[in-house]
Amino acid sequence: MADRAAADRAASETRPAPFRLWQNPGWGSAIVEAQLAFYGMPYALVEAGDIYTSEPARAALGEINPMRQIPVLQLPSGEMMTESAAMTLHLADLAGSDALVPGPGAAERAAFLRWLVFLVANVYPAVNYSDRAEDYLSDPAVVETFRREVAEQKARLWSQVSEAVRARGGPWMLGRRFTALDIYMGVMAHWQPGRAWFAAELPELFAVAEAVAERPELKAVFARNFP
């Protein structure tokens, strides 16, 4: 019996993890990594490398995602999945859990879907445009103006999110219920304009980010991504 148990352990250690996540520490992939950890789903991390400056890294990622963006999640079936919002919904389905994604009958469902799409369709692109303005403009003379104007728009977008959080009374994005939106906030608060800005300008959002990183089931993920 002991030999059989040892053999089972050895097999589990060599068997590929059901999920593989292409990621870089501190990037948007941390949002999906945190959800995998929350659900207790076994996963392996694949470092994508500097996909902005390294052509080999870009080429390697392009083989699985023509957009050359992360995260990319390989499912147990072998299928490759992109788009963090889609992963958020799919992982909840696979887990058979509404712990991070309110179910169809939940009072928070509509607000959850609204702000999930708002973050990935509005705030997330603004972060990318301001960080990588030179990738979108051929005239270096206008890069800084563009970056400044996008940063101002990003601040306005975050203010809309903050107003909604304040109206619900906290402590989480949707009020008393913790969801995947809080994980998004916990990660995105580390990006420009930075944690000090959030703490000073939008303390409701900063408080959410701080609390998420201290949750026992997420603490190791945040420590790895944001040492």
- pLDDT tens digits, 131-187: 776 777 677 778 788 888 988 999 999 999 999 999 999 999 999 999 999 999 999
Q: Please give the Cα distance from 225 to 187 (Å, whole number).
A: 9
Residue 91 shares a structural domain with residue 113: no
Residue 164 shares a structural domain with residue 114: yes
Residue 84 shares a structural domain with residue 124: no
Residue 113 shares a structural domain with residue 216: yes
Residue 100, domain member (yes or no): no
Residue 14, domain member (yes or no): yes
Residue 83 shares a structural domain with residue 8: yes
Tell me what the pLDDT averaged over the chain comes to: 91
pLDDT of residue 1: 44
CA of 19: how far to CAs of 44, 119, 136, in Å?
Answer: 6, 25, 33
- Residue 6: which pLDDT band, with cuts at 50, 70 and 90? low
pLDDT of residue 12: 43
CATH number of the structural domain spanning residue 82? 3.40.30.10
Tell me the pLDDT tens digit for each residue of 9-59. 444 444 567 999 999 999 999 999 999 999 999 999 999 999 989 999 999
Residue 67, domain member (yes or no): yes
Q: Specify the 3-state DSSP secondary structure of 145.
A: helix
Q: Please give the Cα distance from 1 to 29 (Å, whole number).
A: 41
Tokens of 131: 């960080």
> What percent of the chain has a predicted confidence (pLDDT) above 70?
92
pLDDT of residue 13: 46
pLDDT of residue 8: 44
pLDDT of residue 144: 84
Supply the pTM of this predicted model: 0.90
Q: Any idea what DSSP says for residue 176? A: S
Range of the domain at 142: 109-221
Residue 226, domain member (yes or no): no
Average of pLDDT values for 116-145? 82
Residue 127 shares a structural domain with residue 216: yes
Contact 190, 226 (CB under 8 A): yes
Number of structural domains (the chain) is 2
